[in-house]
A and B are shown apart, each in its own frame.
Chain A
């Protein structure tokens, strides 16, 4: 039994990898169908009026939207399988280069937000759980509920107002001069600035990250506070916690080694589940702070009714969610020995 449980980790990973295929297939299909049931002709919607009638027809043909749905669907599946996402209609950019050019900004925003949420959420959740029903607990819970319930753009606006007058950057990912000077290598501005060794630029980019990451981080931190608090309350009442006390383990170690650790395990799973919420929040945050990320692009293309671009970006978002859920499952299996069955 012991050896089976240990040997099954690679098998478990392969299993989860295989499971990804149907998950992505479902997502891709839903995206495809949703965009097809929307009324109207995407070509005339996005570039109509700007091009001649023949040119529009040529575009429709190139897109394949004059052909039967099932043919389009199969072709789309084939494209996705080969990681070919096509081009946007309105400005002829390959979807992959949209993802590469703008993905970096979204990546650093969301990672920063997770960091903010963990750094604020875990300690607050632990304090609230340890001192249940104290003034601190009540305050922290109120804070958690508020930060979760207040819409992203309101939080953003409040932060911008608070920063007003201090000269702290309140929009975009960097000042124009930094953007101009840093050579794009990875297209992740922060990393590029580090590669360039330009500490002034790094500082500038980091400063620009503070308010957006805080805004998105506060949204997530409410979820974490609640989860950590409830988990801690549960594990503190747990049988093995009492058993540890019965062995005379000092209370601080009982709390740290037995209660905290076990209370944080479900956080990994929830972290994975929050990726979808984070991406949704990121879109709103990016709009609020004029952030040059994928969310801003998505909204722009949606407004332009540029269906190929929207389809490509949404598919990409979905794949990200599926992939993170895979990573989360694997990390979970590494941390919690019971998962590997």
Chain B
């Protein structure tokens, strides 16, 4: 078992300028493109953004679970230790105990030929070889009980459980080793709303019971508002805005965050708002601000110079020229401030 090397107030996970790209025939797909964030003990960070913007890639990269042909670069620390310099085996040893993962599809994530008990024993035996069988079963049954799975089901096979139960099994399986950091990649997308609420409550209570830090990837902004301390908004491989969840939601600084919030269904709006256009191709993303072809606030500068992430007075961090200008952090020239013309927009859109 690893011992925290930094004071407990220090971040559990620190990612700096993390990049992940997949090699394809068309060239590298830059799925994660310079992501920086940290996660404190017991904190829940929501990660949102349109489909294909690199959320799962980032989540997997944090655990070293990328497929062959994917490359990763930057700095990634777990309790002060650089994960990217570890060997494959050393990283595998961290998984499960230090770094956990909960996947989207609970139905297919358990080995159909193995009983639930065997899943637990295999996991516990791998990381704590000294445990007796009785001790392993006690530990497993303890987490299962917390997840509301009766002990009578311990020897059952995965197919004998419902989707919601299987997701709770997956969570129990991830938590039995009490990892300090867990990535939950859309853990409720495959489940119905009532089960979803239940799972989210369980995840939310984790920090109290296990002091687990959670990276919660989701498409559901309601869940973020309810369960997350902070939120990171991802667009085309970049975190375009990150900050306190309530703060970001009540006063979004980045136009993409604003549009994303507007596009969720709310009772007060009629009709559905959506962001025109589609997320860019990550082999050849637009230059400078990657959102500029779709941004309603786009200016000349947005298409020519990349906006570096800056800490804003409101507390959040965003990478957007308009936000910097609005917060009086920079002064743009008349030329730079000129709105990007529609024609240019549509051309860029088609490119």
A interface vs B, CB < 8 Å? 1-2, 5, 238-240, 242-251, 253, 257-258, 261-262, 265, 335-338
Contacts and interface: CB of A to CB of B under 8 A. Distances in A.
A236 to B, nearest CB: 11
Contacts, number: 85
14 contacts: A239-B103, A239-B109, A240-B108, A242-B65, A247-B174, A248-B93, A248-B97, A248-B123, A249-B96, A262-B111, A262-B113, A335-B113, A336-B112, A337-B157
B214 interface: no
A240 B157 contact: no
B118 to A, nearest CB: 9
B97 A243 contact: no
A248 B153 contact: no
Contact of A337 (B88, B108, B113, B153): B113
B126 interface: yes
Interface residues of B, number: 33
B292 interface: no
Nearest to B123: A247
B127 to A, nearest CB: 6
B157 A243 contact: no
B173 interface: yes
Contacts of A249: 92, 96, 122-123, 126
B111 A248 contact: no
A245 B109 CA distance: 11
B160 A248 contact: no
B126 A243 contact: no
Q: Report which residue of A238, A247, A336 has the largest number of chain B beta carbons within 10 angstroms of its beta carbon.
A: A247
A244 B153 CA distance: 21
Nearest to A240: B111
B123 A5 contact: no
B214 to A, nearest CB: 15
A103 B301 CA distance: 87
B26 interface: no
A244 B120 CA distance: 11
Nearest to A251: B92
A247 B112 contact: no
Q: Report which residue of B96, B108, B113 has the largest number of chain A beta carbons within 10 angstroms of its beta carbon.
A: B113
B63 interface: yes
Nearest to A257: B122
B159 interface: yes
